[in-house]
Amino acid sequence: MLNPSNRAETHLLERLDLARLPRHVAIIMDGNGRWAGRRHLPRVAGHRAGVRAARQVIESSARLGIEALTLYAFSVENWRRPQTEVDFLMRLLREYLRKELPVIHKNNIRLLVIGRSGQLPVPVREELDEAMKLTEANTGMKLVVALNYGGRAELVDAFNSILGELGRDGQARGRVEEESISNHLYTAGLPDPDLLVRTSGEMRVSNFLLWQIAYAEIYVTETLWPDFNTASLLEALVEYQGRERRYGGLGPGRRAGKPQPGL
Ligand code: IPE
Ligand code: IPE
Ligand code: MG
């Protein structure tokens, strides 16, 4: 359970129904560069501040009892950035792991990585593998870090893996079902995100979890990622709980109409 540390958090917690939390929250952590720019600092200072925000959101999500938290940390498109920025981000990731892994482990969090991690620098890959191994048996929140992740790349990898299996089994006539696609994604076994958060105001999904967000509630905040804190997370959760999820139907408390001809 979360221990509120100020009045804003206490007030928001009172409005939150802990029995109706989203099972899976996915976050596009955007705006580090703009945060730094506004302070006349180099972009990398924004990434450093972004790590502090991530630390807080991870801890608060775990304490609230959220089942899975997915953080978009580096996209397949982010290699287009200057080499110095890419190198800094990779170093920052290793530094983060080294510092935070004991805390993550102590909090019973399980670390998972999604994306084409085989293309990450070897030392990063090795440390990620060790971290995943260490936390493998943890039963608390699943912390899913999207690294060298792209939603289209993930679908391509899933289809190729399905094709490979069909070829091996000699069942090339088999049909592909939705469930089978879900089961071949990097996120196999995780519930689809209920809530997708994007910071810094951009109204786009930037190739994130394209298949999985089919019915996610989308929450966009102007807050830049380094300024996103526990209160910001609680605000997003309160707003989520005020939404009516219909999944194409009529929503609760409404009677179904007459079936339409042809349906
Ligand atoms: C998000 O912040 C972090 C990564 C994509 C790694 P940005 O670096 O995209 O910050 P802006 O969007 O330029 O402000
Ligand atoms: C999305 O942010 C990727 C991550 C947060 C890792 P970007 O800053 O890369 O997205 P665009 O370029 O604004 O769409
Ligand atoms: Mg950005």
**What are the backbone dihedrals phi and psi of residue 257, each rounded to the nearest 5 degrees, phi first?**
-80, 180
Digit-coded pLDDT (tens) for 55-114: 999 999 999 999 999 999 999 999 999 999 999 999 999 999 999 999 999 999 999 999
Q: Which CATH class is domain 22-151+193-242?
A: alpha beta
pLDDT mean across residues, the chain: 95
**Interval between CA 73 and ligand 1 midpoint (Å):** 9
Find out whether 75 and 207 touch, Cβ atoms under 8 Å.
yes
Tell whether ligand 2 has an atom less than 6 A from the beta carbon of residue 209: no
Nearest CA to ligand 2 atom 10: 206
Q: What pLDDT is recorded for position 168? A: 77
Instruction: Say how far apart CA 119 and CA 65 lie, in whole Å.
Output: 33
Domain residue extents for the chain: 22-151+193-242
Q: What integer is the mean pLDDT of 135-139?
A: 98
Tokens encoding 154 = 């993930």
For the entire predicted model, the pTM comes to: 0.95
Q: What pLDDT is recorded for position 262? A: 58
pLDDT > 70? residue 208: yes
Q: What pLDDT is recorded for position 104? A: 98
* Nearest Cα to Cα of residue 245 among 71, 68, 28, 20: 20
Residue 107's CB is within 10 A of a number of other CB atoms, namely 17
Instruction: Give the number of the ligand closest to the Cα of residue 207.
Output: 2
Q: What pLDDT is recorded for position 18? A: 97
Tell whether ligand 1 has an atom less than 6 A from the beta carbon of residue 150: no
Q: What pLDDT is recorded for position 197? A: 99
pLDDT > 70? residue 256: no
Instruction: Say how far apart CA 117 and CA 147 lie, in whole Å.
Output: 7
The catalytic position among 3, 78, 108, 192 is 78
Tell whether ligand 2 has an atom less than 6 A from the beta carbon of residue 117: no
Active site residue 194: no
Active site residue 30: yes
- Rounded to the nearest 10 degrees, how much is the dihedral formed by the CA atoms of 30, 49, 121, 98? -130
**Interval between CA 202 and ligand 1 midpoint (Å):** 11
Tokens encoding 113 = 């990585």
Name the more confident of 174 and 220: 220
- 225 Cα nearest atom in ligand 2: 5
Tokens encoding 203 = 């109204």
Q: What integer is the mean pLDDT of 106-123?
A: 97
Best residue among 90, 197, 200, 224 to mutate for probing ligand 1's pocket (most ligand atoms within 8 Å of CB) is 200
Digit-coded pLDDT (tens) for 144-165: 999 999 999 999 999 999 999 8
The catalytic position among 17, 30, 107, 192 is 30
Find out whether 8 and 229 touch, Cβ atoms under 8 Å.
no
